[in-house]
């Protein structure tokens, strides 16, 4: 089992399962668009007894503009 820790962008702080710890880029669905994160550094905790392998991914771009206020109460009227 491996996990991806996401930094920056709309999914900052999220932890997602990672099938391949050597993956360099993730495209993740977000609302009605997709966001792109790239791995920085080498995977950590790669030994047998030190917990799940972790890789840090940093926000690069989104497919469309992301409006953080698009789901507020005023927009649902």
Long-range contacts of 36-44 (CB under 8 A, 24+ apart): 36/60, 36/61, 36/62, 36/63, 37/4, 37/6, 37/7, 37/9, 37/11, 39/4, 43/2
Question: What proportion of the chain, given as a percentage, has pLDDT over 90?
Answer: 44
Smallest CA-to-CA distance from 15 within 25, 26, 4 is with: 4
Specify the pLDDT at position 58. Answer: 96
The HSE-up count of residue 12 (CA atoms within 13 Å, CB side) is 5
Q: Residue 66: pLDDT above 60?
A: yes
Question: Which pLDDT band, with edges at 50, 70 and 90, does 12 fall under?
Answer: very high
């Amino acid at each position: 089992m491996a996990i991806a820790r996401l930094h920056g962008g709309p999914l900052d702080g999220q932890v997602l399962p990672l099938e391949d710890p050597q993956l360099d880029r993730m495209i993740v669905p977000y609302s009605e668009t997709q966001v792109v994160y790239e791995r920085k550094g080498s995977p950590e905790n790669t030994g047998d007894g030190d917990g799940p392998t972790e890789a840090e991914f940093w926000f690069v771009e989104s497919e469309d503009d992301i409006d953080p206020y698009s789901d507020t109460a005023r927009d649902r009227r």
